[in-house]
Amino acid sequence: MSLLSMLFGNKPKTAAVAKERLQLIIAHERDGASAVNFLPQLQRELIEVISKYVKVNPDDIRVSLEKQDRYEVLEVKIELPEKG
């Protein structure tokens, strides 16, 4: 940076901006990759365990991962068959 540009004030440092952007996007992409990896497995194992105790249709067990601002919600919905 030259003396002249120093006299007329500093622009924000672009390297710092780059670092912050990378940290955000990479954290997001890593989460995405791991969620995709474990969800189907989790769903299969849940079906196995629950089937030991109640008769359920595999389609009645739904697993999803939702991201909100600062936390994630793992939602498991199990619909039990009607008695009868």
Binding footprint of another protein on the chain (CB under 8 A): 1-5, 13-16, 18-19, 21-23, 25-26, 29-30, 33, 37
Closest separation in Å from C-beta 72 to another protein: 19
Closest approach of another protein to the CB of residue 31, in Å:
12
Smallest gap, in angstroms, from Cβ of residue 11 to another protein?
9
Q: Which is nearer to another protein, 31 or 45 (CB)?
A: 31
65 class by beta-carbon count within 10 Å (0-12 exposed, 13-18 middle, 19+ buried): middle
Q: Rounded CA gap, 27 and 12, in Å? A: 24
The residue count of the chain comes to 84
Q: Quick one: 3 or 73, whose CB is closer to another protein?
A: 3
- In the bound state with another protein, the residue whose beta carbon lies nearer, of 5 and 57, is 5
Q: Are 75 and 66 in contact (CB under 8 A)?
A: yes
- In 3D space, the residue among 1, 4, 22, 25 whose CA is nearest the CA of residue 13 turns out to be 1
